[in-house]
Each structure stands twice: as structure tokens, then as C-alpha cells.
A and B are shown apart, each in its own frame.
Chain A
């Protein structure tokens, strides 16, 4: 870990301004991913802006019936919030399937969105990785990629985004609210928040330099039956191999978002439209254009089968 100076931010706008004035700075909140990466010098900020004391830890209803989730609401609190449990169970479920109790107690809403990939080559500084070092090459493309992406990949990167929470937020059409160094604010739809790797895999999101997440807004409740099915190699405390977030409405419609398949939470509107035709049709739409390796080709079938599992669960619940 490189030496860094440390400050406690006084306000979101001040945090953003401080970050903008020092390109080598980083915000730190839960720290559960950032410190992990700093220890390995994958992240090397020379200044940390501690945003933990800015409030932003409330979950409140919005005037159009949705929820505004403060950026610093801890994963545990968000999953346990009574309105989230009642109206956005898919989000509770996604959060509870992630990490461990200890990590969820520390990890924040904004930090969860900003997690970096778990690709093992990204994590080993002796190996080439375009995400870590642009232009270095990608060791994963012809290496160990069993757990890596099959959708939206590029010739430079096949990393996946590790978050479960973000998959549920994508399904819920959440928006990410930010404040910029100049004090201006904006709302970024989840669909546009994370990026595909393209030839700039080192850039994970569309946040501008210094731009600070203040909250995530959920639209008014969808109703319906909520599922988050996470497939993993052990029963708990493991990243998703594949995950499916699904919300079914009473009339046979549904929405689907997927984790473990791409550089961002994956959602295709044509897949939603196929809900009434069943899991195979949904999978076909969602996985259109999938590009697999011999090691991760199983994810195609696994995704379809996991969808089938959620359809069956819905049937059982109905």
C-alpha cells in the first residue's frame, strides 16, 4: 500500500471538489474493496477522502412513491429496511446473497456499485491486464476464464462485475444521483452507470472525475413476485457464477437482470418482453450475441436453467 494523506470530507460537494483537485485521490467509505486493492497496489491513491461522516445513511420515500437510498447506507441496513423488504424484495435478496455478514455491515450502497472485477489476473500485478494497466494485454482471454463474462465482452477484457446488489438495482430501473465538483447534480440511470469494457476496460463507470454518488433512487414499487437466484460454487460467501434477478407480475409479464455474465449488470428489454413465453425464450433474448470460451460456455445453459428455476419457483409461489 502506497503512503497516502487522509482527510474527512465535510460535505458531498466538498468531497467532490477535493477529489477533483487531486486526481490521485479516492473516496473511501466501507473500504472493503478499495483497501483490498490498495494492499496489492492495484489501486494506488495518494490521498483518501473519508466520506463516512457525511450522513447520507437514510432510506426515505420519494414524492413519487419510490425510495431514495443514501450512498452510505450499509448493505445490511438496506437489505433489512422494512420498505425494501416489503416492496423491493429482489434487492433485499440480492444484498443478502452477497459477501458475508461482516462485509455487509461495512459495505455501502455506493461502494457496492463501484466494486471492481474479481478477475484473478486483475488481482495479480505480475500478469497482464488491460483493466489494471491499459495496453498491457488480457491474460484472461486465453487463460483461466471459467468465471468470466460471455456478454458484452471485447478483445481487451472479459471481466465480470461482481455485485449482486447492482443486478437488482438494474432490474428495478434505479437511478444513481451524484454531485459534481462544481456543485451540480445529475441522475444517471443504472442502465448507463456501468460500462462495457470496449477498448477502455480500465474505466468501469460513467462517473466523471470527482463526481460523487449521493444516493440511489428506486422508482415506485413494481409489485409482483421477486426472486434473486444466485448460483455459486459453495453455499455462501462466494461470488456468483451466474445470478438471475426476476420480478414476475400477475399477468405473466416479468423483468430479468443477470449477474456473472458481463462487465455490468445485464438486462435486455427484449428478454423482459419474452417473459410470457417462458424461460427458454427469455434466455435466448438475454443471451443473444453471447461469446463464450471453452471454459465458460456452460454459462449459457446455466443461465437458461437458472431462469427455469425462477419460473418454477414463481409457479410454486402462485
Chain B
């Protein structure tokens, strides 16, 4: 099905099941520990041997000597895989660094070997017996130092690196009120709870990997390319994924090494990265330096807005697209955005939940707060004042498909009790706490991806949906079941959903908050095809047929689905393909974050007291799972604002705090009640589901609301994330 014109009324609009807060259908399996994750496939790969990865101890250079003999002779060892014996390997199109390094080394903890042994304990111990001598090369590890050498990358997420409209410099110079500030965000780690893990088994020249991967279709192509085998010989299975946040978008070392290890050991092999290896071996969100310049009239109308971004990556890598939202979020005739990419020899930078916006808004939305203060305008009102209903770089010819930012701000403010905020900073005390409130807009682009599904109906009228879509905690199982149930007019208990297997039709996968909307649209397409065929079998005109209560109804006649399905049932496949509606209309999701924080007057510790937000993201397919996505992302925003930082040791070129004791993410005690309000909205230009993504919107702006609340609490403006107490302490009033 091609989606080329705005959706009209369709069966999803009945909203009998879609749009309802249905419990997760995979819930009972997950809460009972019965859902099998990648390293737990005793059922399909019994007797798997254990692989342990050996990472590089240096950031850049070459292996001058490698001795694996002692490891090979160690108890239980079945194989040691290195660049020397792995055969000729390719590199995945989406990998910047090679997944098995050597002799050249591109980053710290790049995989250099895999030790395979009968037991986990033997593999781990033998790995320590591999001796590697290195020839160290000079590397570049300091973004600030490399800033001047940073160059424009070719593209930023398929868009131009730089944009310019009007005369930014002139308008900024002449503006009545000017904000010119630089903000920095550190490298961050996804820190999903399930480590990257894969079980691999070969059968002849075909390999199957049971893995933890957000993008099954990409995984097939990339593993085939890396192993130099045909994609038909690769099966990727990923039904349960213990968190991804972008870290499992791509083929990673666990998958390649498990496949190589299984080939070498001639039996199934499983590999999980050890937690301390993950931050440096895998990808991370790159650090940024961002300069924001906003020029406005005294009453807060933006005249000029400029956002420049510097970030680094390995040679051949990409820039963090942190200025993208500034192209779309606020009005202003004179505009400028720039991205500059420095070469750094740190581990590979790549997507983490809402790449671009998540850190871009940490800068832009604080700059807006600074502008509000300079103009003496309420920060909510400032944002409303600068709302724009079309792409401000293009003009009214490219309107937003739907944009309810103003409604989010107003309703969010009411829900939160924004009116009680004292606009003068440093005024509110509660015991030892200075208390403040902050607001920030949420913005995340809406992306759509082609997505396929197979749908079957059996003689009992039971529906089975199969697609290689993944559920990384997003609720895919449930919303796909809801979609099929709605379309086919059956109860959700009549629907079985099979996900995450490359033998199923290729889907959108989970990333960039495109998964829910795109994959359910693919299921919608397949259901439409099935409905047509069933209606025909029942002797109805498909357009007139109503699917309801397990029956197909038209012209005063009702035929049970089971009867129409016939003895052998019926299976169809279809996919959704998106036309140019995303070009004709700017498509994005919007929201408003509100936070109340307390800052300890003695120690500078910041604790979040309340968080609240209002969000507009098209049809909310399941308000229960969508709310969970949003609060989870808000919490990741708390982490970004207050504690998360991969610390770079610029001497050795690695992230020093590479485990979960030293890389802090929020714990239960950090998170208060969180309120989420979804604004009623249908976006008929986004998909036939009229939904948009929501999984990343919640992080976008959340941290800025906290930063602004800290300022309101203390009068201290910190611009280097995370906003830790050591940065606060010297600026607090004496006690």
C-alpha cells in the first residue's frame, strides 16, 4: 500500500481497541521471566559454548604482536578468533569502526579477539591469557581542542549541513535583545540493562543469530556484508530486547564474534559483552559544543536565530545533528544553523534516543529561557509568541502536518500549576531546599519508514501477525495486536503477534521513534489486503464490508470470519510505503515539559520534585504504553541534566567511567511522580494510523526544563552538562 495522500476515514477511526490503555500482551511472559532474551536460548541452541571478547587496551595504533597460545591451551578453550584467523571480513555500511580490529586499532576496547570455551568461567579466564603488544599511535581525543579543525560533514541526517535564511548576522547585530551563549553536552551512554548479546549457530553455510537488535532487516544485510556471505544465508532472530535506545540499531561485535566463534568452534556459541566493555566497545551519544545566538525585539519576537554545533567522531563518522530542531521550532525571519565535525579517535559516536534533539534542546531551550528573562516575559508566553505553523526556513508553502505546541504549553502549564512560579530566581525556600520551576518545549521530528507484515487467519478465525518488527520495550507486540484486532473486528485475545525474525516480512524496526506508527501502518496495509480477500470470499464488496464481532457484515448479511477464512485459512502480505507527504508537510511531534527541582542550599545537590508534560504526537495508539515511553524518556532527560557523562581521559583516549557504578543513570529515588497529558490529535498526513512517534519525544527538552528550574531556584545558570554539584558549589550563596 502506498501512502501518498492524507488518510481519510478508515477502520482504525472506530477506536474500539486502538487508543485504549490495553495491558501489554507480552506482560505475563516478561514479569514471570519466561520471555527469552538473546543469551538465554537453551531452547533453540542447546549446548552453546561461551565466547568472551578481548578488547583493545589502547585507543589508536596497531597490534605489534599477539600471542594466543597460552589461551588456546587453557582448560576448556575451543577456539580463539582474531583478525589473523577470522578470514577476510567486510565492514557493515553503518559501522564506522570495524567490529573486529587488528592489526590496526581504531578505538579503545575495539574487539581484538574472542575466546570460546566450554564454560563461561573458562572463557573469561582464558581471555586474560592473551598477550598483545601494541604500537601506539597519536590520537585526538579532546573535542574542545579539535574544535577549530572541525569541518562541515557532507550531510546531516540526509539534510544540508548548514542552512541560512535572510541575514542572520545583520539581524542579530541589530536586535534589541541578544542572547549569545555556548553550551556543552558530554558523551553519554545508552546503558540499557541487557548487554549486547548474541547466540549464533551455523548449519552448513547458513548462520542464525539469536540476538538483541532493534533493526532485524539491517542486521541481516550488515552481518552478510561483514562475513562476505549472501544475505539469504543469514537469519536474525530478536523477539525480546532488553533495551536499546539506539545502541542496538546496528550490527555490533557480539553478533559478529558469536558468528565467527561458532564457525571456529563448529557448534553454537554465545557472546555477551561484559558491562565494563560496553561504553567503549559500542556506540555512544557524542559530546557537543553548541553556540546559540538569538536576537529578539524587546517584547520577545525572534528576529534572528542561529545555532552552531561542534561534535566529533571517528574518521568517516557522522556529526551529532543538534541544530536540526532549531530549523523548525520557532519563528524568525533571519536564521542560520551549522554543524561541524571534528575527527576524534574515541569510540564510535552514533544515535542515542532522539539523536540531535535530545542534546540540541538542552541548549536551545535554555537559551530561550535566557531570552525570556532578558525580555522579562514569561517563558511559556515567549514560546507561544514565537510559534509558527509552517517550516520557517521554507515558508507557508510547507505547513506542519499538525502542530499543537501552543496547546501543549497552555494545558501543560495548567496541569503543572505554572502560575504559582515566582519569576524572580532564588526566592522560594522549603527547608534546606531552594525550589524552582522550569519549562521547555519538546520537539522531535516525525520519521516514517516502509514496513511490511504478514497476516494469517485460520479456520477458527484466529489472526496471526508476523513481521520482523521489534519490541524494545516500546509496546510493539501490543499495539500491533490492537491494530490487527481493530482492523479485523476481533478481540485482542484473538490475535497472535510474532516479531523479530528475519524470516518474516521486513518492517520499519525500532529507531528514531518511527517504529510504532510505521509498523502498525504496515499491519494496517496487510489487514486491508486480508479484508479485501475475505470480503470477496464472503461475497461482499470490500468497500462496503464491516468487520465487527468476528463477523463480516454487509447488505444485511453477516458471515463469520472463520467461515470466510475457509478450512485452509488465508495468509497475505503487504507493506506500507510512504510517498512525499513528509516533504510537502513538515512532520514533527511536540510537547511542553515542566519541572520543579530543589537545590540543597548547602551542598548544591539537585533533586527533582515534580515533572509534568503535555504532548501532541498524533493518535496515541495505547495511552498506557505511550505514557510509559514518555516518562521513561523524561527520566533519561533527568539523567542528561543532572548526572550522565562519559568522562573522557584525553591522555589515553577512552571513557574512564565505563561501568554502571561510575556512569550514573537515575535510580528510583531520583524520580518523583510524573504526569503525562496527551493532547487529542490525529495526523492524517503521517500515516493511515494518523499516529506519530512518541518514544523519543519525552527526552526532548526534559533536561532543559530541569536546567531552567535550577536557574529559577538559585539564580545560577549552568551551561555545561551535566549540572553537577561541583559546578554549582562555588556559585551558591555562602552559608
Chain A residues proximal to chain B, CB less than 8 Å:
1-3, 39-41, 118, 120-121, 123-124, 126-127, 139, 142-144, 146, 231-239, 241, 295, 298, 301-302, 305-306, 308-309, 312
Contacts and interface: CB of A to CB of B under 8 A. Distances in A.
Interface stretch (B120-128, B186-194, B400-408, B626-634): B120-128
3 closest cross-chain pairs (CB), A and B: A126-B57, A309-B602, A235-B669
A234 B667 contact: yes
A144 B725 CA distance: 16
Contacts of B605: 231-232
Given A123-B659, A238-B664, A233 B649 contact: no
Contact of A306 (B128, B602, B667): B602
B656 A144 contact: yes
Given A2-B125, A233-B664, A234-B667, A301 B656 contact: no
Interface in B45-101: 57-58, 75
20 contacts: A1-B121, A3-B75, A41-B128, A118-B661, A120-B657, A120-B662, A139-B651, A142-B651, A144-B647, A144-B649, A234-B642, A235-B607, A236-B667, A239-B661, A298-B725, A298-B730, A305-B604, A308-B735, A309-B600, A312-B735
Interface SS of A by simple majority:
loop
A236 B652 CA distance: 31
Given A40-B276, A308-B735, A312-B432, A237 B729 contact: no
Interface string B587-614: 0000000000000101111010000000
Contacts of A309: 432, 600, 602-603, 735
B592 to A, nearest CB: 25
B670 A235 contact: yes
Contacts of A139: 649, 651-652
Q: Which residue, of A120, A146, A301, A306, has the highest number of chain B Cβ atoms within 10 A?
A: A120
Contacts of B669: 234-237
B602 A308 contact: yes
Contacts of A231: 603, 605, 725
B726 interface: yes
A143 B656 contact: yes
B724 interface: yes
Contacts of B276: 40, 123-124
A232 to B, nearest CB: 8
Interface residues on B, range: 35 or more
Interface of B: 57-58, 75, 121, 124-125, 128, 276, 432, 600, 602-605, 607, 642-643, 647, 649, 651-652, 656-659, 661-662, 664, 666-670, 724-726, 729-730, 732, 735
A231 to B, nearest CB: 5
A273 B125 CA distance: 53
A97 to B, nearest CB: 11
B725 A118 contact: no
Contacts of B604: 302, 305
A234 B604 CA distance: 12
Given A142-B651, A298-B729, A306-B602, A237 B667 contact: yes
A279 to B, nearest CB: 8
A194 B1 CA distance: 72
A1 B735 CA distance: 49
Contacts of B658: 120, 124
B668 A302 contact: no
B667 A305 contact: no
Contacts of B664: 233-234, 238
A237 B668 CA distance: 10
A42 B473 CA distance: 36
A143 B725 contact: no
Contacts of B666: 234
Nearest to A147: B662
Contacts of A3: 75, 125
A287 B642 CA distance: 28
Contacts of A146: 647, 726
Contacts of A41: 128
B125 A1 contact: yes
A126 to B, nearest CB: 4
Nearest to A300: B729
B295 to A, nearest CB: 35
Given A1-B124, A3-B75, A120-B662, 5 more contacts: A126-B57, A143-B651, A144-B657, A235-B669, A237-B669
B126 to A, nearest CB: 11
